[in-house]
Structures are given as structure tokens and as C-alpha cells.
Structure 1
Amino acid sequence: MKKYEQQYYFLSEMEDERVPSLSPDDNTSDRNYNFEEFPIGSPPFVFFNGGREYNEKRGIPSLKKVPSILFSGTDLLVTSSMREELLELDIPHLHMHPSVYIHDDGQWHEDYWYMTFTERFDCWSRVKSNYFKDAGPVSLGGFELYEVFDFCFDEELLNSIPQSKRLLFKMGGALNAFIVCHESILNIFKSGKVNGIEFTKVEDY
């Protein structure tokens, strides 16, 4: 049987300067969109490419086709088709809110949903993982977060939870709070025509 580190992948933004670097508009930035669930019918989140002017000055062209997955930090905006597949899985603590991305050409792309995890899953081993121990954790928002260099899972903890309840989650206890995806549902995030995403096996991080 594969080790857990071989079964799971970190989802991260593709290293391509043309990929939009999302920034929220004023109304969105005033809301706790990255950790709070918002009711159905509340206004959509709105994002734009915060790196547009920087790229223009450096002569980096905008992408002609907007990626089907966009990143806001380590969080994702996914398309409606991806959302539908995720809803069928009943992922714990995952909530998705309608979102708009305004591209560099001014066009509004409204077929996005922001993935919010209202709780993180702290499942990495303090014994086997390689992390910065000497300085201790950083306290942010009431949580103690470590800088982790190499992740190893807490096998006993994962063994105690059905796989269906840990297919997708946001890593807890770490400053690098990646979204973590089980290999069995990875194709959901590979289904877009143009993706700005990279998949890193936890073992290879």
C-alpha cells in the first residue's frame, strides 16, 4: 500500500509570470472571504489581477485565455463544472461562493467559485516532519503555525478517518497552508482547458 505522502498532492499556482496574481476589490477585502462561510444570495467576491501594472512595466504580456483555476494565495477559484463535482463529494468544511474575475482587458469572468475552508486539518507529524522547531510556532489568528520544510503525515490520525472525509482539505498548523488533494479526485482539477495550477506530490515537496 502507498504511503500517505504518495497519495496526496499539494495544489499550487503555476510558476508563470503571466498567470494573474489575484487581488480582491474593496468590497471583497472588507469580508473574511478566506475563512468564513457566506450565505447564499450574498454578493459575489470580485478579484482582479494585482500584478497587471507590474507586468506591463516589464513587458510581460497578459494571458489571452484566462486559466480555469485561479489562485488567491494558496486558495483556489474554480469553475462551475469543478464545483459541481466537488459538491457531490460532500467535502468537510468546504464552502464555495460565487466569484468574479476581472481580466486585464476589462472582461468580467463570472463562472468562478471561491473555495473557502472554514476549518483546517492539522495532520502532519511533529515527529517525522522536517520543520523549524528552534524558534517555536508563529501565533496568527489564535493558531500556532510552523514553517514546515518536508511534510510527513500523522498516520494514526489519517487511519482513524475514512478516506471519503479527507479527500480535500487545507493544511493546518503550518504557515504554508496548502490545499491538499487525494490522488483519487485529482482529475477534477485537471479538467479545465487552460490551467494555472501545479500538482506536487507531498513526498516530493
Structure 2
Amino acid sequence: MNDFENEYYLVFKKFNPQTLYLTALQKSADRDFEFDKLRFGEEPLFFENGYKEQDKARGVTRFYSKAHINISTLVVRDEIYEDIKGFNIRHLQLYPSVHRYLHKMVTN
């Protein structure tokens, strides 16, 4: 089996102007979490709306769903975390993260 025969899943069924795209705050981005394994006991990762300034200027409201994307990182809410935490998924690390409006999130 080669890498092209693996299964992949899209998080959103359809994209729309209200889709929320997260950006890591600088203190989290500096931790290089996309490539380095995170150590439990350190502070969570922190995210914010990647388009917050543009949204504020245009009066755009974006909505939270059960899962969001930050470049290559999947950020999920508690209910998805609870569903998958018991599975041994190769190359997936569940680690606490925070968005100022969603206080408990998990990312790989």
C-alpha cells in the first residue's frame, strides 16, 4: 500500500463565508506544534479567528462547529475528543488547546 491509498476525510461538507479559520497565537506558533511532539503539563495551544480584523471591519460573524482547521492541524471540540481519545491513531497526538470563545479544544 502506498501513501495515495490511505483514506482522508474533509472536515467541512461545504465551505461558506462564515467558516471559521483558526490561527495560532504567536506564543503557540513559536512552539512549532505542527512538527514537534507536545509535552503534557505545558500550557495549552492558543488559537484565534485568523480573519478577526477583516471580520470586525466588515461586520462578518463566523460560526463555531465541532471541528476546525489551522493549516495542517485539526482542532476539535470536547465531544469529538471524547469519541476518539480511546483509539490508538498513528501520528495523532491529542493535546489541549484554547480559543477565547471555546475554552476546551483538542488538537493533534
What range is the shorter-chain TM-score in? 0.7 to 0.9
1:93 and 1:114 map into 2 onto residues whose CA distance is 12
* More contact order relative to length (CA 8 Å, sep ≥ 6): 1
Q: Is the 8 A contact 1:99 1:111 kept in 2?
A: yes
Counterpart amino acid of residue 104 in structure 2: D
Partner of 2:55: 55
Counterpart amino acid of residue 7 in structure 2: Y
1:40 and 1:9 map into 2 onto residues whose CA distance is 27
Counterpart amino acid of residue 103 in structure 2: E
Deviation >2 Å, runs of 4+: 7-10, 55-63
CA 1:22–1:60 in 2, change beyond 3 Å: closer, same or farther?
Answer: same
Counterpart amino acid of residue 98 in structure 2: V
Q: Provide the TM-score with structure 2 as the length reference.
A: 0.79
Give the total of aligned pairs. 104
Task: Return the offset for 1:62.
Answer: 3.2
Counterpart amino acid of residue 21 in structure 1: Y
Alignment of 1:1-205 (within 5 A): 8-13=7-12, 14-63=14-63, 66-102=64-100, 108-115=101-108
Alpha-carbon displacement from aligned partner over 1:22-74 (angstroms, at most 9, x marks no partner):
111121011111122111111000000020221233343333xx211111024
Q: Provide the TM-score with structure 1 as the length reference.
A: 0.45
CA RMSD, 1 decimal = 2.3
CA 1:86–1:8 in 2, change beyond 3 Å: closer, same or farther?
Answer: same
Q: Which has the higher strand share?
A: 1
For structure 1, the 5+ residue unaligned runs are 103-107, 116-205
Counterpart amino acid of residue 40 in structure 2: I
Alpha-carbon displacement from aligned partner over 1:10-33 (angstroms, at most 9, x marks no partner):
324541222222111121011111
Tell me the SS of whatever aligns to 2:75.
strand
Counterpart amino acid of residue 51 in structure 1: Y
Alpha-carbon displacement from aligned partner over 1:95-129 (angstroms, at most 9, x marks no partner):
11100012xxxxx31220011xxxxxxxxxxxxxx
Percent same amino acid among aligned pairs?
23
For structure 2, the 5+ residue unaligned runs are none
CA 1:88–1:44 in 2, change beyond 3 Å: closer, same or farther?
Answer: same
Counterpart amino acid of residue 93 in structure 1: H
Larger Rg computed on CA atoms = 1
Q: Is the 8 A contact 2:34 2:72 kept in 1?
A: no
Counterpart amino acid of residue 33 in structure 1: F
Q: Is the 8 A contact 2:23 2:70 kept in 1?
A: yes
